[in-house]
Structure 1
Amino acid sequence: MGTQNAPLRLTDYRDLAAGHVTRPVWDFVDGGSGDERTLAANTAAYDHRRLRPRILTDVDKIDTRTALFGTPLATPIGLAPVAYHRLLHPEGEVATVRGAGAAAALTVVGIFASRTLEDIARAAGGPLWLQLYWLRRRAVLEQLIDRAEAAGYEAFVVTLDAKRIGQRLRDMRNGFTLPEGVAAVNVDPAVMAEAHQAHEADSAIAAHAETSFDRALTWDDLAWLRARTSKPILLKGVLTAEDARLAAEHGVDGIVVSNHGGRQLDNAVPTIDALEECVQAVAGTMPVLIDGGIRRGTDVFTALALGASAVLIGRPFLWGLAAGGAEGVTDVLRLATSELEHTMTLMGTPTLADIDRTAVRP
C-alpha cells in the first residue's frame, strides 16, 4: 500500500475492510441490535467530552507502558473478544494474535474462536486471556478452562450480558449462518449445531444462544468458577455501579464496562457514560477495563482519564484483520497507540499515571 493511500485514522480501515468480505459477514461485524441506537451512542458519547490540556510539563518522552495482573504491556489498548475471525481472514485468530504480539498488546480470545486455543497460543507474541460465555453444559466450560490454563492463557473474561442474543436486525434479514469452513472449533460440535443451520428471517447465532446459554445464572454461580481456577476472573457486561459493587463483593478480579458493542440491549447506556460510576463503585480494588465506541487516541485518553485501567477495541482490529491480516492488526494497534502518544504530548501527561479526571471536562 503506497503512502498516499495509507490509512491515517482507524476509521480508514473500515473503508478498506468493507471490500474484503461478503455483505452478510460485513453486516454481522458492523451491525448492532434494534435500531442501533447504542451502537451509534457508543461513539457519539466520546464527542460530548472535551479535553483540558496542561502546559509547561516535560513531555520529551512519552510512555504508554502499563501492566495488568503483573503482566507488562506496551500499550493500554488491547483486543476485545470477538468470535469467528476466519470470517474475515483465512488464518483467523492466528493472524490476530500475531498482529497483536508485534505490538506487544493483550488479546482476549473468544470462546467461539475459529482456531484452536493451542494454535492461537503457539502463534501469540503477547499475553492471552480467554473469554467465556456461561453455557448450560458446565463440562464444556471445565474442558475449556483446563485447556486454556495448559496453553498459557493468563485470565478468564466471562461475558454476562448475552443470556439472549440482541435483536440484530441485519443478521435476521440476512438469515445469517456460519459459512462452510468456519466453526467454533474449541467447543463440542453438538453445542454449536444450531449456529450452522439456516433459519428463515432469523440468525443462526441467535438460535444457537437460545439453546446453549444458561439463563438461570446468578451471582451465586460465580463460586463454581472461582473454585475451578486460580487465574484472574473478570466480568464483562457491567454497566452500573450496583453490579460493579456486587462483582467486588463476590471476589472477582476485574470488570469490563461493556454493552457488547451495541449488539445486545438497544438504548443501553454508552460505555463511557457508565465508566465513572463503575470505577467509583469498586474504589480501586480491581482493574476496570472498557470497550465500545473507541475509534481514536483521544477516546483512549478520555477513558483512561475517567478511570479505566485499559481499553479494548473490537471492530477496528477486525477492520485491520480483513484488510491486511496480521499486519493490519498490528497497524491498527500501532496507529491507535501513536494517536494516544500524540494526545498525551499535547495534554502534558508523559505517563499513563499522569492522566487523571481533571483532564476531561464533565
Structure 2
Amino acid sequence: MKTIAILLISLCSMVSFGQTQNEGDIVINKTQEDDTYHAGETIRTNAVVQGDLVIAGGNLTVNDSINGDLTAAGGELFLNSYVADDVRIAVGRAIIDSEIGDDLIVFGGEVTITENAKIHGNLKCFAGNIKMNGEVVGKLEVKGADILINGVVQKTSKIIGEDITIGSNAKFHNAVEFWNSDKEIDFKNSLVNTKAQFNEDLGKEQSELSLTTYGTRSLSSWLKYILTAFLGILVFHALFKHAFTQAVESFENKWLKSFGFGLVYLIGIPLIIIFTLLITIGISLGLFAAAIFIFSLLFGQLIAAILLAYYVKYKKDMNWGFWNVTFIALGFLLLMRLLTTIPYVGIAVSIVILAITYGALTLAVIRSKKQRVTS
C-alpha cells in the first residue's frame, strides 16, 4: 500500500501523456539551446540541455547534462547525469545516480539515491521506500515508511519513518533529529563528533504525512482530491476555453509583466474591499467582491494548471485537443499540489503561481478591450 497513491498520480499523468498526438516515445539526441518541455509515454534525454528541462511521462531517463533545473513527473525516472541547479521530482519510482548542483526534492513511492550520487544542496525526500547511499552536502530531511541511510550527510538531518535503518557506510557530520515508533535507532559508528536525538514532536509530522506515507487513508484522500480536481478542471476548461487561449499570449515574453499585474490583483483587490466595507453604501459591493476574490484564491492553482497546459501546447505547437489539455492540466495540478506542500517554499510558489496566472488573465482582458476600441 505504500506506493499506491504516488502510482495513482503517475497513472493520471501517463493517461494524458499517452493521448498526445504528436509525441509518444521521445528521444532527445541534439543539444537543446533553451528551456525544454516534453510530455510522452517514454522520454530519453541523450544530449545537453542548456536551460531547464521539464518532462512528464511513463518512463523518463536523463543521460546527459542539464545546465538549469530539472522538473519531472510520471511513472519512473532514471537520472544518470549532472544537473547544475535544482531537481524537483514527483514519480512512482526514482533512481538518482548523478551529481546535482543544488537542492533535490523528491516525492515518490520508491526512491533510491546511489553511492555515486552527490547533492550539493539540501535533500528533501517524501516517499514510501527510501534508500540514501550517496552524499548530501547540505541538510537532509526524509520522511517515509522504510528508510535506509547508508551515505554521508554534512549538515543537519531530520529523519522520520516507521522503519529506519542506518547502514555501515553512513556518516553524519552534524546534529540528527529522528522519530520512529521504536523511539531508538542503532546509529553504529555513523555519528562524527555529533549526537542523535529522538524528537517526539516529529511524530506529529509523521501523523500528518498521510499523503506521503501512502496508507489507506491517503489513497482515499488522493482519490477524492483527484476526482474533485478533474471535475473542476473540466468545468473551468469548458466554460473559459477561449479565455485561456487568449491569456497564453500574455505569457510569451511577458512573465514579469504578468507577475506584476498579478501582484496588483492580489494586493490591490483586498485593499479595495477593505475600503468599500468601511463605507456604508459600499458594504454590499465589498462583500460581493470579497466572495469573488476568495473564490479566485481557492481555485487559483486549478486555473493555473489549465493555463500552464495551454502554454506548453502553444510553446511546443502541439496538436492537443480538449481532452488532452484537460488531462495534462490535471497532471500539472497534482505536481503543483505536491510542490506547495513544502514549508515556506510552498507559500512562495503559491504566490508566484497565482500572481502570474491572474496577471496573464488581466492582460488578456486589457488587450481584448483595446482591440474592441480600435475596431
TM-score, structure 1 normalization: 0.26
* Higher CA-based Rg: 2
Greater RCO (Cα-Cα under 8 Å, separation 6 or more) = 1
Query: Whose strand fraction is larger, Structure 1's or Structure 2's?
Result: 2
TM-score, structure 2 normalization: 0.25
